[in-house]
Amino acid sequence: AMVDCELCKICLPIVAFVVAYYFVLPLLGIFFRHLVLTKLWSQRRQLKKLGGWAVVTGSTDGIGRAYARLLAKDGLNIVLISRSQEKLDDVAKELRDKYSVQVRIIVADFSQVDVYDRIERELSGIDVACLVNNVGVGYSWPTYLAGGPKPLDAGELQPMLNVNCSSVARMTRMLLPRMLPRGGAVINVASGSGLQPTPFLSAYSASKAYVVNFSESVAAEVRHLASKGGAVKSVTVQTVTPFFVATKLSKIRRASFFAPSPDAFVSEALNLLGVEQLSLGCLSHSLQYLFMSLLPSCVSNYVLCSTMYSTMQRSLKKQGKNN
């Protein structure tokens, strides 16, 4: 009994320290950033002072459309870039009617590599305060890269990489030099699947990991340039890594706390601009990621693999019924 008592005296403080270090402190940090620092440090309201325009790719649906809508609500003129003329016209009309801002549209298919010279010409002469690299394409359903009943079509790979990776690098390279003299923001929308390996979405997950690493690297470069003074101002480079949002891409129709609507998600994400460089975007997703990070990687990988496999099976079954 005496030995057990002594062990308890030694172990309890250690357990308390581990719980506090890995759970309580990160949890308090999440609430502090979301509830306090967004009121003190958010750069959202500064964007209009840094230039009159925001450029949003993939701006006709879901998260991209919400960014366009909320930035217009904040008083910025908007350049919408997507591949559907009809959808672009609809969004442009909504923004002009609701927010009385100027709107330009550029029809571009980012799966093609020859669109950037034309985009650059059409963006010449405007002061861009914010670039939102949102355009992205995912799998039609979770599946094996190779093998299995219906593996990923090899023809989908290069267009996916063009849209998810090349567009981010090319648009950032195009507009960042114009922001450096006066400041601004580059917001790169990645995905929670870019934060950890995601079986059955391997190419998509890897493409979003590229966005995370690219953004973090560019952010460090910009800070280094700004630290040298001179004519270079600080440009905020934020990476947003959402989990599930109620969008067409996620196939979730009804919004909830853990799968918020695009507008609710983007409103929180914009408030975190300048607060979190690598951001989950909203409180619920930050909590999800904290709980996931507490699991051993072998456990989280097993759960994720099982979940994605089940999703694949349901998709294949649904296709079989439709056929």
What lies within 8 Å, CB to CB, of 236 at 6+ separation is 43, 184, 185, 186, 219, 273, 274, 277
Amino acid at 258: F
How far the first Cα of the chain sits from its last, in Å, is: 69
Q: Nearest to residue 265, comparing CAs of 289, 247, 290, 238?
A: 247
| Helix (H) or strand (E) run with residue 212 in it | helix 202-227
Amino acid at 304: L
Q: Which of 67, 99, 204, 210 is catalytic?
A: 204
3-state secondary structure of 74: coil
Neighbours of 68 (CB within 10 A): 32
Instruction: Determine the Cα–Cα distance for residues 60 and 68; give it in Å rounded to an integer.
Output: 9
Instruction: Determine the Cα–Cα distance for residues 245 and 193; give it in Å rounded to an integer.
Output: 13
Q: Any idea which residue has 């979405």 for tokens?
A: 201
Is 204 assigned a catalytic role? yes
Q: Nearest to residue 212, comparing CAs of 244, 230, 180, 189?
A: 189
3-state secondary structure of 184: strand
Q: Catalytic residues, which ones?
A: 204
